[in-house]
Structure formats: structure tokens, C-alpha cells
Amino acid sequence: MVDYSKFYSSYAREARASDIRELLKVVEKGGVISLAGGLPDPRSFPRDEIARIASEVVERYGEKALQYSPTRGVSHFLEAVRKFSERHGVAVSDSDGIIATVGSQQALYLVGQALLDPGDYVVTEEPTYLGMLQAFRVTGARFLTVPIDEEGMRTDKLEEVLRRARSERLRIKLIYTVPTCHNPAGTTLPMDRRRHLLELAEEYDLLVVEDDPYSFIAFEERDVKPLKTLDKSGRVIYMSTVSKILAPGLRLGWAIGPEPVIAKMELVKQSIDLHTPSLSQFIAAEAMNRGVIDKHIPFIKKLYREKRDAMLEALEEYMPEGARWTRPIGGLFVWVWLPESINSRRLLEKAVEKGVVFVPGDAFYPNGGGENTMRLNFSYPSVEEIREGVRRLAEAVREMVGA
């Protein structure tokens, strides 16, 4: 027998499966309601339209759509993204570049490789997005965290964190944030905090990464603009994706930001995969240009609003005193703060016995903490599963509070 382990790189030796993936294995056993995942509802995929577009794209643009294409992206797609963004209030300036990526996940990875050295610091919400932690951690970067409340990042605390970091001479490169329909917290940052965040980026000379998969499908109106649109000094690297508005299986996202930074991301990308799949770019470009996405958005909003409502109602009905949660206006998740005495990992063991799973919140805290928090997904389970799942979960909470 070959001892493969001696061939592994130190990176492969260190790599660990994420908690969420381990959890999903339990769900496969059946009978277990999962509030743990982060999948869109498959009913949100406009299947017929995608089938029609895919076939037409191959017929009409086959020569290009099936061919190698530029690392930066197919111009047809980049132009569609520019128009789609502007139509949806994301300002693209003349000094911006746009790059097509294999999902936002790759955009994050490219930002990490282009900007971060070991020992650099990234400032982010606590809790924060797991995909970002995975993409940035491999650079050896470290994290400074800013607490949230029901409205998202506490920018007053951000100011404290930045001031302290300056006095300790820490090298901060960027602020990473999901300002609208946060994953995992479900919060949306109000305008005054958005302005404050950008002022601080200016004062402390930082770049800002705005991860925005959800603003197009927010199902309640809020008077907020993307940081990218508010940015007057070219500090924001904006990224989005077709994953939540069309289909995640296309693996297609984009980043819009200062051209010099996008050019560095392009250089990094070249060695990874040459380019983003041409076929996905052509399909998405057509879906954007023909208004298929815009026409479909109201359906997605309605679907998720009903599920969000079901989850909030069930929480209200079943959860004991001392628990509180966010009221997301979009996205896929509700964030729950449990009574301080409850450890959500221990709660999970009890919950599994009762046939429901969720993600313990501490997974989203890069520097520890959040032991009494949890993330609940409402996009994938049915309304009935949401009600029953929350009921089982609340029962487990009650038992732990009582114990």
C-alpha cells in the first residue's frame, strides 16, 4: 500500500472540512429538517427560460460560447453586467474595471491573492461570511472583528477597532462587509452607517470589499444604496453573482472596482483557470439583456418573503423568553441570539435527536465568541418544514434553559 499522506503538501495536511459540510451529512439520513444549509430554493431557478437561452446561445453564438475566452471575461457578459448593475443602482465609474469570476467565491479568492500578505489584517463583521474566511485565510491574513446589532455592523465600534489597530501599528488592508441582507446575520446596514464606514475607510486609507449577492432580491424596500455607489474616492471593490438571482450551478460572478486592482486580480486568475466558463457568461448575458432575470426577481422575492415570514412567526410562537433574532429584509438567513447560558453546539446535539439541524454561530466568528448564537436558513426548507423545524428547535432550547 502506498502511504499517500507523506506526499501531501503542508496546506493539504492542514485543510479541514467545514463544519457545515459535516452537518449536511447528518441530514442525508432523512427525517431531519435542515435549517443549516445555504441553498437557494430550486423553484427560484427559471428553468424553462435557461433551457431556451442555453440552446439559442449554442446555436447563435456557439463559435464563441464554446471556445476559450479572455481571462477578464467575455465582452458580451461584461457589458451586460455593466448595464444590469446600473439598472439596479450599482454605479460603475469610468475608472472602474469589471472581471468575470467563477462565482463570488473566486472574486474573494482573487482579492485575497492580489491584496493580502501574511500578517495583514482584514476588518469584518462578527459574525461574518464563511466563504470569505476560507478565501482570505489561505493568504495568512488575520481578522479584526466588529460586533453587529439588528442593523448590522456597529460602525462606532469599527471606529474603535481602527483607532486601536493604528495605535498598535497593525497593518490593515481592507474592510470586508455584506451590507445588504447579511450572511449569516440577515441584517441591512442603514445609510448613516454606510457613510460612516466609507468616511472611516477614507480616514484610515483602507479598501472596502462589498459582497452583494442579495440586494437584487431584497423583498422589503429600504432606502439604502450600495457602498459602491456612495464611494467617491475609488476605494470599494464590489462583487456580486448570479447564484441567488439565476442559478448557482452556472458558477458565475463578477467584481467591479478600481481598474488597477481588477487588473491584478486578472493576473492572479490567469494561473488558476485561464478564464471563467464562456458558456455560463453567454447564458447569463442573455438572461440579463432579455430581462429574464428582472422579470423573475418578483417571483423570487415572493417565495423568500413567505418563507421568512413563516420563520419569524414560528420563532415568535415557539421560542422561549431570552432569545432574540434579526428580521431580514432579504437574503437566506435569520440570526438568533440565545440566552447566554446556552451553548449552541451542545444545543445542536439535542436538536439532532429531535430531528432538526442548524449552524452554530461560533463558526462565523473568526476569533472565537458567539457560543450562544445560531444561523437559521429559510430559503431551502418548505414552509411546513420551517414551522416544524423551529418548533423542534425551540423545544430543545426550552429543555436546555430548564436544565
Ligand X SMILES: *Cc1c(COP(=O)(O)O)cnc(C)c1O
Binding site for ligand X (CB under 6 A): 103-105, 129, 131, 178, 183, 211, 213, 241, 243-244, 248, 253
φ/ψ of residue 338, rounded to 5:
-90, 165
Minimum CB distance to ligand X smaller for 328 or for 370? 328
How far apart are the C-alpha atoms of 391 and 17, rounded to whole Å?
29
Query: What is Dmax (Cα atoms) for the chain?
Result: 67
The C-alpha cell at 292 is 429574464
Minimum CB distance to ligand X smaller for 155 or for 241? 241
Least Å distance between CB 6 and ligand X?
33
Least Å distance between CB 359 and ligand X?
13
Minimum CB distance to ligand X smaller for 180 or for 344? 180
Minimum CB distance to ligand X smaller for 248 or for 347? 248
Q: How far is CA 117 from its chain centroid?
A: 23
Paired with 143 in beta bridges are: 122
The C-alpha cell at 34 is 435542515
Phi-psi region of 325 (alpha: psi -120 to 50; beta: other; left: phi over 0): beta
Side by side, the strands of the sheet bearing 333-337 are 324-325, 333-337, 373-377, 359-360
How far apart are the C-alpha atoms of 107 and 251, rounded to whole Å?
11
Cell 452537518, residue located: 23
Minimum CB distance to ligand X smaller for 217 or for 394? 217
**Rg (Cα) of the chain, in Å, rounded?**
21
The C-alpha cell at 359 is 449552524
Least Å distance between CB 259 and ligand X?
22
φ/ψ of residue 124, rounded to 5:
-150, 170
Residue nearest to ligand X (CB): 103
Least Å distance between CB 331 and ligand X?
7
Minimum CB distance to ligand X smaller for 49 or for 212? 212
Least Å distance between CB 59 and ligand X?
28
Read off the amino acid at residue 291.
G
Name residues whose C-beta falls within 8 Å of residue 303's C-beta, 6 or more positions apart in sequence: 41, 43, 44
Least Å distance between CB 268 and ligand X?
16
Minimum CB distance to ligand X smaller for 101 or for 396? 101
Least Å distance between CB 261 and ligand X?
18
Q: Is 154 helix (H, G, I), strand (E, B) or coil?
A: coil
How far apart are the C-alpha atoms of 313 and 310, rounded to whole Å?
5
Minimum CB distance to ligand X smaller for 104 or for 187? 104
Is the separation of the CB atoms in 213 and 329 below 8 Å?
A: no
The C-alpha cell at 345 is 453546539
Paired with 333 in beta bridges are: 377
Least Å distance between CB 103 and ligand X?
3
Minimum CB distance to ligand X smaller for 213 or for 360? 213
Read off the amino acid at residue 97.
G
Least Å distance between CB 97 and ligand X?
19
